[in-house]
Structures are given as structure tokens and as C-alpha cells.
Amino acid sequence: MAKSDTAAVPVKGSKLMVIGGASLVGSATVDEMLARGAAEVTIFDNLSFGGRPNIAHLEGNPKVKMVQGDILKLHQLLRAAENMDGVVHLAAFMTLNFDRDPWGGIDVNIRGVQNVLEACRANKVRKLVFASSNAVYGYGPGVKGDLVENTPFHAAGAPPAAILYGSSKIMGEQLCRDAHRKWGQDYVILRYSTVYGERQHYRAANALYIVETHDAIKRGERPKVIGDGSETKHFVYVGDLACANCMALEAATTDVAVNTSGPAPITTLELVNLVAELSGRPELKAELVEPDPTKVRLTSGGAFEIVHRAAKDAIGWEPQVSMREGLSRLLAWRDASLKQAAE
């Protein structure tokens, strides 16, 4: 990791763009930037996964500019990135979408990063924050123990879409490194673990457990757990990631990739029972069921922990919100949204 005075972009007073800004993490990041006094925040999003409700609360805010654009159209990015001090790039296909449309996933997750880097180069954007993933460590039985930044990519035993997603993130990271070497592009890569929080969507294979469990409990049913529920998950609260994105812009650090995970891992069984408890129905204990072979599920073999120590050193970040606290917020948000929708 390198430090450079020019790599520090204070959020306060800056013009910033969030690509994929109408997403779960994107909308929280825009909120955090505004709270920190950003001069102007551009949301660049094609809204292909919805997203409009995530940014409805920002409508009419004079500091927020919405650009409905496509990262595969370089001219749109080039124009949107004009006069930007910093860019946070979040737009990506995840595993489930890679399974449905590998061509789209490759375009968005690889060519998309190249286009973003090109727009940053052409517009002399001082700092890029790129959202990578703990998927760069892979899936399957090989993934166990402490996952640190130089842990290799394990592919054996994982479905093609998961490996395609993980390698697309590896390539995105390397394109950033290449840009730093070739034209000095300052960047920080954050390897998100599984995100959850308010405005949770249904597109991420891992976070589905939370919303599916909550839905089952709402119906008075016991939540289903696929397999024996012993596999590890390591979530991170969306608000913590919004802070990490801002801190990565503000840090003098460049040319580095660090993990951003929550305080501690949890097993699927613990998670599901915690959701039941927080939903006020602790008696609805998880029911173990056999996996459906037609569905893409990401199972991990051993117990693992995504270590976030390097993020503290690089950008001063560590997670603040416990799983219990974050889940309470998510469930409260879902209850309020469902109630509002029913009215």
C-alpha cells in the first residue's frame, strides 16, 4: 500500500459520483456523502435492477444529480465524470445474474470497470473506490480459516456462475492496479463481504436467507435452512460500507485492496434463529431441508473469518454495527415498508 497526498479526496466540499448509486450500498453511500458535506453527488445508474425507490428520498435535493446511464456506454460515463473529484464504482452483476446472463456479467464487471477507469483517466478524477468482493477468495471446501488479502482464489467445487463472478472481480481489481501503473490512477479497492441492511433487495444469494427467513416468520412458518446450517457467513452492515467508501476516498492511501467485513462471522443456523428472535417469534426454530439442485446456492466448506484488520491500517475503517443491531434495523425497515405497501 502506498500513501500520497494527492490521493486524499475529502468528501466535504467535493463533487463525487457513485456508479450504481441507486443500489443498496449506493443509496447508503450517497446519504453518507451528503451527511459528510459533499458539494454535489451524482448518482449514475441504469436502474436495470430497479433502484428508483432506494433514491426516492433524495428527489428534489439540489446537491444530488441523477444520471440514468449505462457503464457500457463510454460516452455517457465520460460526460458524467466531468469535474468529479472522486468516483465510487459499485455497479456489478452478482452470482445469480451471472448464472442467468454470463455475457452481461462479463460486460458489466470487466468492460464496465475498464470504461470507468477510462472516464477517470480522461477527466483526471483524483480517486476511484472500486467495490470488489470476498468472492475473490472463491467458494467451496477450500475456503476456510482466516481470509486475508493474499489468500488465493479457491474454485474447486463451486458452480460456474460463482467462479465467473469471483474471477470477474479479480480482473476488475487488476485493471485498477494496471491503471495505477500505467497512468498513476489513485484507487482503493474494498472487498465487501455479504451486505445487508435497509433497502435489502432479493438478488444476492447469501443475503436471501435473511429476507426469506423474515418472510417465512411473517407467515407463521418455521424458516427453512438448506443443509445443516453449519456453514459460515460473514456479513457487513450497509451503513458500515457507506462509511468505508467515504473513508477510502478521504484516506491518503492508494494502490491497495482491503477486506471490509462485519464484526464477526455467523453460521446460517445462528443467523436464522437470530432473525426469528428479533422478529418476536423465537419459537419458530429453523427447519433443515435438502438442497434444491436446480438453484444456485453458495455453500462454503470450513469455518472462515474475513479479516478486516488491513482496512483499519489503510483507511482507518472498522465495522461499527453488530449483526444483532444491523438485523434489527433491517427488520424494522422491512416491517415499515410492508405495512406502507399494504395501506
Q: Which residues of the shown chain bind a second copy in the complex (CB under 8 A)?
A: 102-103, 106, 110-111, 114, 138, 142, 149-150, 152-157, 160-161, 163-164, 167-168, 170-171, 174-175, 177-178, 181
Of residues 4 and 174, the one with the C-beta less far from a second copy: 174
CA distance 92 to 115: 13
Q: How many CB atoms lie within 10 A of CB 333?
A: 14
Q: How far is the CB of 167 from a second copy (least distance, A)?
A: 4
Of residues 130 and 196, the one with the C-beta less far from a second copy: 130
Q: How far is the CB of 202 from a second copy (least distance, A)?
A: 23
Of residues 253 and 273, the one with the C-beta less far from a second copy: 253
In the numeric block, which cell numbers belong to residue 12?
466535504
For 73-93, give the DSSP string. -HHHHHHHTTT-SEEEE----
Q: How far is the CB of 101 from a second copy (least distance, A)?
A: 11
Q: Are 319 and 236 in contact (CB under 8 A)?
A: yes
Of residues 95 and 194, the one with the C-beta less far from a second copy: 95
CA distance 165 to 163: 5
Question: Hey, CA dihedral for 232, 238, 242, 247, is it positive or negative?
Answer: negative
Q: Are 293 and 283 in contact (CB under 8 A)?
A: no
Of residues 50 and 141, the one with the C-beta less far from a second copy: 141
Of residues 155 and 226, the one with the C-beta less far from a second copy: 155
Q: How far is the CB of 171 from a second copy (least distance, A)?
A: 5
Of residues 177 and 201, the one with the C-beta less far from a second copy: 177
Beta-carbon contacts of 334 under 8 Å, excluding residues fewer than 6 positions away, are 200, 211, 214
Amino acid at 92: A
**Burial class of residue 110 (count of CB atoms within 10 Å of its CB; 0-12, 13-18, 19+):** middle
The per-residue b/e assignment along 238-247, b for 16 or more CB within 10 angstroms, e otherwise, is bbbbbbbbbb
Q: How many CB atoms lie within 10 A of CB 19?
A: 31
Of residues 241 and 256, the one with the C-beta less far from a second copy: 256
Q: How far is the CB of 185 from a second copy (least distance, A)?
A: 12
Q: How far is the CB of 174 from a second copy (least distance, A)?
A: 4
Beta-carbon contacts of 153 under 8 Å, excluding residues fewer than 6 positions away, are 136, 137, 138, 166, 167, 170
Site of grid cell 423474515? 214
